[in-house]
Amino acid sequence: MNFNDYKMPLLNGELKSLGDYQNNIVLVVNTASKCGFTRQYKALEDLYQKYKDEGFIVLGFPCNQFGNQEPGDSTEIGQFCERNYGVTFPIFKKIDVNGSNAAPLFHDLQQEATGLFGSKRIKWNFTKFLVNPMTKSVCRYAPHKKPEDLDLDIRLSLNRAKRRQRAVTTAV
């Protein structure tokens, strides 16, 4: 899986190359505005604010496949996220994460990092994937895993990325 090859539309319709994040540690999350886990938006924003200057970014991908929990259009989703949770990290257009219409990014993430008992299918909103595009490593976290509980994994990933960049710089 080459994370840098994907292009996805933001809420405003702008096509965004995920290659723009090739030097970042990326947390990819399928989101929803009317889910029991929706309050995780705040913790996701807190993580983003805490580590964004070190090369970390959160990417939100709204999905309506689980209990019709993201019925809004792009404008409504964007307003909800900003108004209720102060979200400043990128939110993309609503997508499917499972099935024949699944966004290729999510299809490939599921192949790279399976869920409980090796299942590939995403079970609910707020499934999280921690991606290091430089090493092509992917870790998957269940919806109930709180974003703040990913802090150590994020710090370790950022530290590994810094060491790798220093090694490349030193070698040149």
Instruction: Supply the residues annotated as catalytic.
Output: 35
Max CA-CA distance within the chain? 52
Rounded CA-CA distance 37/131 in Å is: 21
Question: For tokens 């964004």, what's the residue?
Answer: 52
The secondary structure of 103-170 as a DSSP string is -HHHHHHHHHS--GGG--S--STT-EEEEETTTTEEEEE-TTS-GGGGHHHHHHHHHHHHHHHHHHHH
Helix/strand/coil for 18 = helix
| Beta strands at 25-31 and 56-62: parallel, antiparallel or unpaired | parallel
